[in-house]
Amino acid sequence: MNIDFAGKQVLVRVDFNVPLDAEHNITDDTRIRRALPTLTHILEEGGSVVLMSHLGRPGKKRLEDGSIDVEKFTLKHVVERLMKLLGVRVLFCPETVGEQATEMAKNLKRGQVLLLENTRFNEGEKKGDPEFAKQLADLGEVYVNDAFGTAHRAHASTTTVAQYFAPEAKCFGFLLENELQNASKITENPERPFAAILGGAKVSDKIVLLEKLIDKADIVIVGGGMAFTFIKAQGGSIGNSLCEDDKLRLALDIMKKAEDKGVKFLLPHDCSAADAFSNDAQIKTTPIDQIPDGWMGLDIGPLSRAMFAEALQEAKTILWNGPMGVFEMENFAKGTVAVAEAVARATKEHGAYSLIGGGDSAAAVTIAGLDDDVSYVSTGGGAMLELLEGKVLPGVKAMGE
Ligand code: AMP
């Protein structure tokens, strides 16, 4: 952030899309905390801050009459927590743009913070509408984008708005800068051996990354629901486990490519199989390719935990994206926690650089209490995935234009 913010009104796009419970209490404030360094820096330099963010998907989850569910999606829910964490009073504007927003922004003094209402309450946000973006741009003299979690969306507040600011009047915030730097440690000459662990539900979500990794990594470990497509493709019995039957050929092609390139490709040996998709189901450990009919693999088993953990200790660079099982259910979290512990151990004891992709893997590291024991935990699931796939994110590209 090489702009002098003294006396400047700074329009900052943050990602305050935090999870809320039924009473609208914040259940995880990581995203707010990760934006604090940027906000504190601007305020300490003597700037004022106009904040914009989205929260949830108000356009998709409308009330019966088709209107926006303001009560559920208002950013007012984050004001109190933000004030507490930032240690500064935060004013809230119940509209994103309009007369009141203009008036409140005009009256903002140095050192003050104004939070605008959810950007997605406006039709123009997701369309990247230039007029809506211009109205937002008029609320600040300088634009800072620190919303990594939405940098892969070409929305008005993340992308279009940047065109209204001269190159010297816009920059990334500390968080976004940090995310880009960390992703580049994986995409540009990672220290070897480079191990990648992929998990989660579907192969189809991660095909592009998987193919890239076969080109780049030395060790590729696949766990979670996506492993079963590979197991079935090789003729294994997977019972009712998750599987994408239209990806069986692709799975074999990927394994063949790994073999040709000398990449170590590891799949689980065993799993925790359940007779229902429930934490209270009956559970037994079975070989991964011998799951009885009516049973489903919901976590990797003890042999696989040990095998994956051992493989990771060789690595000097580790990328992890996606859980090893249905870790939201306590009885199927063991594999994911074991991988979190193994990544932390490789980082602390063997000096590996470890990047945890956002979303579920980040949540798993937090559940295991290991945030400080890995090198970097990303705040953006989809955005990090796209960066690692080699895409240029629209929110990043817009800053250079
Ligand atoms: P993704 O968003 O693709 O990273 O997938 C994350 C989801 O995959 C989590 O909600 C997990 O519960 C789910 N998942 C992981 N392993 C399995 C499995 N073996 N069977 C079903 N779902 C799984």
Domain with 144, as residue range(s), is 9-172
| Same-domain pairing of 209 and 243 | yes
Which of 82-91, 112-121, 382-391 has the least mean pLDDT? 382-391
Closest C-alpha among 155, 98, 137 to residue 12: 137
User: Same domain, yes or no, for 246 and 147?
Assistant: no
Q: Which long-range contacts (C-beta less than 8 Å, at least 24 apart) are formed by 182-188? A: 182/355, 182/375, 182/376, 182/378, 183/355, 183/378, 183/384, 183/387, 183/388, 185/317, 185/353, 185/355, 186/317, 186/319, 186/355, 186/388, 187/387, 187/388, 187/390
**pLDDT tens, 382-392?**
899 999 998 99
Sequence-ordered list of residues with C-beta below 8 angstroms from that of 329, at least 6 positions apart, any chain = 278, 279, 298
DSSP SS3 for 72: helix
Catalytic-labelled residue, pool 185, 257, 382, 391:
382
CB 210 within 8 A of CB 220: yes
Beta bridge partners of 211: none
Dihedral sign (CA 244, 248, 253, 256): positive
Please report whether residue 257 resides in a domain: yes
In a domain, 74, yes or no: yes
pLDDT of residue 235: 98
Confidence of residue 400 (pLDDT cuts 50, 70, 90): confident
Do residues 220 and 318 share a domain?
Answer: yes
State mean pLDDT over 303-307: 98
Residue 401: inside a domain: no
Final residue belonging to a domain, choices 144, 172, 200: 172
Which member of 81, 126, 185, 202 is catalytic?
202
Q: Are 297 and 282 in contact (CB under 8 A)?
A: no
The CA-to-CA distance between both ends of the chain, in Å, stands at 17
8 A C-beta contact, residue 28 and residue 196: no
Beta carbon of 205 within 6 Å of any ligand 1 atom: yes
Catalytic residue among 8, 31, 153, 247: 31
Residue 358 has pLDDT above 80, yes or no: no
Last residue of a domain, which of 172, 191, 215?
A: 172
Q: For 29-47, how does the pLDDT look when each residue is reduced to its tens digit (9 = 90+)?
A: 999 999 999 999 999 999 9
Beta carbon of 201 within 6 Å of any ligand 1 atom? yes
Give a yes or no: residue 250 inside a domain: yes
Ligand 1 pocket check for 335: Cβ under 6 Å: no
- Catalytic, 31? Answer yes
CATH number at residue 312: 3.40.50.1260
* Residue 159 sits in the same domain as residue 24: yes
Segment 97-122 mean pLDDT: 97
Q: Contact, 219 vs 315, CB < 8 A?
A: yes
Both 329 and 249 in one domain: the answer is yes
pLDDT value of residue 269: 98
Q: Which pLDDT does position 252 carry in this prediction?
A: 96
Q: Is 33 a catalytic residue?
A: no
* pLDDT at res. 21: 94
Q: Is residue 399 part of a domain?
A: no
In this structure, the answer to whether residues 291 and 368 fall within a common structural domain is yes
46 is catalytic: no
Range from 13-17, 63-67, 125-129, 231-235 carrying the lowest mean pLDDT: 63-67
Are 199 and 113 in a shared domain? no
> What spacing in Å lies between the alpha carbon of 242 and ligand 1's midpoint?
9
Q: List all residues 6 or more positions away from 225 whose beta carbon is below 8 Å from its beta carbon.
A: 199, 200, 201, 202, 241, 242
Give strand pairing partners of 1. none
Angle at 393 between CA 384 and CA 247, to 5 degrees: 60
Say whether 382 is catalytic: yes
Number of domains in the chain: 2
| Amino acid symbol at 27 | T
Residue 126 confidence (pLDDT): 97
pLDDT of residue 137: 98
Q: Which of 133, 152, 172 is the last residue of a domain?
A: 172
pLDDT of residue 2: 86
Q: Work out the average pLDDT over 51-57.
A: 97
- Confidence (pLDDT) at 381: 86
pLDDT at 26 exceeding the cut of 80: yes
Domain for residue 348, yes or no? yes
pTM above 0.85, yes or no: yes
Same domain, 101 and 62: yes
Q: What does the DSSP 8-state code read for residue 66?
A: S
Q: Are residues 295 and 370 in the same domain?
A: yes
Q: Are 65 and 101 in contact (CB under 8 A)?
A: no
In this predicted model, which residue has the larger pLDDT, 341 or 400?
341
- Note whether 86 and 113 are within 8 A (CB): yes
Residue 343 lies in a domain: yes
* In the block, residue with structure tokens 């998990």: 199
Q: How far is CA 75 from the centre of its chain?
A: 20
Strands 283-287 and 270-274: what pairing? antiparallel
Closest CA to 114 of 30, 43, 197: 43
User: Cis ω on the peptide bond leading into residue 167 (within 30° of 0)?
Assistant: no
Is 327 contained in some domain?
Answer: yes
Q: Are residues 343 and 247 in the same domain?
A: yes
- 312 and 254 assigned to the same domain: yes
Residues 199 and 273 in one domain: yes
